[in-house]
Amino acid sequence: MKIWLTLILTIVLFIENGYAQQFQLNGDGLALGGNAYRLTLDDYNRAGSMWYKLDHDLNKPFSITGQLLFGGRDVFGADGIAFVFQNGCLNAGTAGGGIGYSAMPGKSFAVEFDTFENSAATGSFENHDPAYDHIAVEKMGNVDHANATDNLFGPVQASAAKANIEDSLWYDFTISYDPVSHLFQVYFDGTLRVSMTYDIYANIFAPDPYVYWGFTSSTGGQYNYQAVYINKNLTTYALPDKAICPGGSVSVSLPPISRFSGRNVALGKATLASSMISSPSEAVDGNVNSRWESIQAHDPEWMYVDLGSPHDIDSIKLDWETAYASLYHIDVSSDAVTWTTIYNETDPTRLSAYVQPNLIDTIIVSASNVRYVRMYGTARATPYGYSIHEFQIFGKPKYVWSPNDGSISPDINSANPTFTPAVTTTYSLVYPDFCTGAVIYNMTITVDCTLPLELTSFDVIKVGNKGHLTWTTSLEENTHHFTIMKSLDGINFTPLGRVAAAGNSHSLRNYYFDDTDLPASGTVYYQLVTTDIDGSSNNSPIRLLNLKEENLYISSPVFDEETSLILPGETKSLQLTVVDAVGRVLLEEYHTDVTSPVYFGKSLPPTVGFYVVIVQTETLNKTFKVVKRK
């Protein structure tokens, strides 16, 4: 029993969390699976954000489509979700009425979906918010709609049909930008709500066109469970997963890492020292009033900085305290084990000519593929120790691709690599962020020409008076649609309906179709016909629905307070297990002398979200996804 449960959880979580690898998640941010992400918990003073890990060039078109969930608390709910372009860090996001983006560093352009009226009339701070849930476009993190400079559009009512969007429903959205016409548009709940002509690059981010994009959210004195779903097939991705035939290749183009020029790449990074009276981290904190100090009256002493990923170094600044080194050398390393000296101070009198106490030693160096930089002191200028106010390192970070198996050219540090894998390979890219350090992006190239579509599952069950068909694909290449075929004798099939396919996809895609015209008894046969863009088609295996037997199903997969299991009549005992999106067991019940239905919804925590229900009877093992809306 436990072995089976562990296996199911492992499979579910592996599948669900695979999508999160392309995003940096912060605060309450959590991958819920199937391209859905939680942004805030249903609690006071929460914040969450998610950022696509690679820059977007504002000189290229941008489009993103998905759904937003704002929770179920209306009068006392807050604060909303924002879509943001920004050129700062990947860890932005703070709690409160700024919706997670008002206090972020750098420049920003944001679309806020605001669900709380922050105004003096409501006893809150004054943002000049309207009473209805609204959309506005703002720059530089300014959330005050009365500011004519930074409030670029709106506010307008978010949904054209209703004033409140905190109703536990998922709302469709599309956000797009054309860099030629400068047309920026936002569709919400199926209706165009924002249409403006605005040069985002020239007016905000020039001269650097590269920005991060993502979503932020927050709560404050009021709260809601808030989440976002992203449609991968209708969204701008710099490095989508690819499929090639054997012998083929994939080339990608990454933006130059120009934004890091002239910046201190050691700021806030990890450090280590041979000894300390005060921590070596104080030498990289940006505060000239703090310092690393080694123990006194001892040679040699050293400290190093871990840059987190390889960099090309061009200069170093050592802001010494009065206790400085008369002799020292600068070493670099890729592993903190083998060191190479790139500068050696051999004149014990050189630094004595500097004016105290502002002894700033600038060293011009040239070193490539450096991750660790060390100051190694061999002689002290005073009886005390070695003391550095700031250890500053200047240079450019580098892309680093893996595996280094010969399938990446011209090299693993290239911004424009070509991949020629012999077998299906997941490539990892180490990419720098000054706030969070190095982040990792994964891209899978599938090597397979034999399967234009890989059907991983196809099932049918009876739900109420409907035949509920579900199927999953893990690979689609130029797939146009699915035709659902139905038969009452297993021989003669007729078309029942049609479902559009994703087209091209290299991740799990889930589909469903309901047959609302079931006979009273007997057996119904179903088959999928998959049709490609070129008109070619393939038939799936046949699935049958025996209407003489009751089937195990969830009465309401999407519910507010209560739902139940509908069980076959012969069921005598069952184990019911419910886990959350991160695999924690929330409910585990054993039932004997079972009477259908078995109610369980009220036994769950009062938290909106996705859950996995695992049911095991004498003859059946079933796993269901359910959504609790409030």
Written as one letter, the residue type at 14 is: F
pLDDT at 9: 35
Contact predicate 320/377, CB 8 Å: no
β-pairing, 108-114 vs 30-33, is: unpaired
Residues in a beta bridge with 331 = 341, 374
Contact predicate 397/267, CB 8 Å: no
Strand stretches in 420-539, DSSP E = 425-433, 437-447, 453-463, 466-476, 479-487, 494-500, 509-515, 523-532, 537-539
Class of CATH domain 553-628? mainly beta
Q: Could you give the 3-state DSSP secondary structure of residue 65?
A: strand
Three-state SS string across 278-318, please?
A: ECHHHHCCCCCCCCEECCCCCCCEEEEEEEEEEEEEEEEEE
Whose CA is closest to 84, among 43, 140, 131?
140
491: CB partners within 8 A, 6+ apart: none
CA torsion through residues 297, 301, 307, 311, sign: positive
pLDDT at 457: 78
- Domain 260-397 CATH (choose: 2.60.120.260, 3.40.50.2000, 2.60.40.10, 1.10.443.10): 2.60.120.260
Residues in a beta bridge with 440 = 430
Would the CATH topology of 20-234 be identical to that of 453-546?
no
3: CB partners within 8 A, 6+ apart: none
pLDDT at 1: 29
Residue 611 CB coordination number (10 Å): 19
CA–CA distance from 475 to each of 189, 246, 562 (Å)?
Answer: 30, 16, 36
Contact predicate 178/197, CB 8 Å: no
CA distance 420 to 408: 7
Contact predicate 401/428, CB 8 Å: yes
Q: How many residues are listed for the chain in this entry?
A: 630
CA–CA distance from 485 to each of 244, 490, 584 (Å)?
Answer: 31, 11, 39
Residue with tokens 């505060």: 287
Q: Could you give the 3-state DSSP secondary structure of residue 99?
A: coil
CA distance 315 to 336: 20
Question: 287-316 burial string, b = 16+ CB within 10 Å, else e?
Answer: eeeebbbbebeeebbbbbbbbbbbbbbeeb
Whose CA is closest to 218, among 79, 412, 121, 405?
79
CA–CA distance from 51 to each of 41, 186, 261, 535 (Å)?
Answer: 18, 19, 22, 39
Whose CA is closest to 375, among 312, 286, 292?
292
pLDDT at 137: 97
Sorted by where each begins, the domain ranges of the chain are 20-234, 242-257+399-447, 260-397, 453-546, 553-628
Question: What is the side-by-side order of every strand in the sheet holding 558-559?
Answer: 558-559, 621-628, 609-617, 573-579, 585-592
Q: Could you give the 3-state DSSP secondary structure of residue 260?
A: helix
CA distance 351 to 504: 63
Domain covering 453-546: architecture: Sandwich (2.60)
CA torsion through residues 323, 329, 331, 336, sign: negative
Regions of the chain where pLDDT drops below 70: 1-20, 34, 121-124, 233, 258-261, 355-358, 434-436, 449-453, 548-551, 555-556, 558, 569-570, 581-583, 618-621, 629-630
| DSSP for residue 542 | P
pLDDT at 259: 63
Domain 20-234, classified CATH 3.30.2320.50, yes or no: no
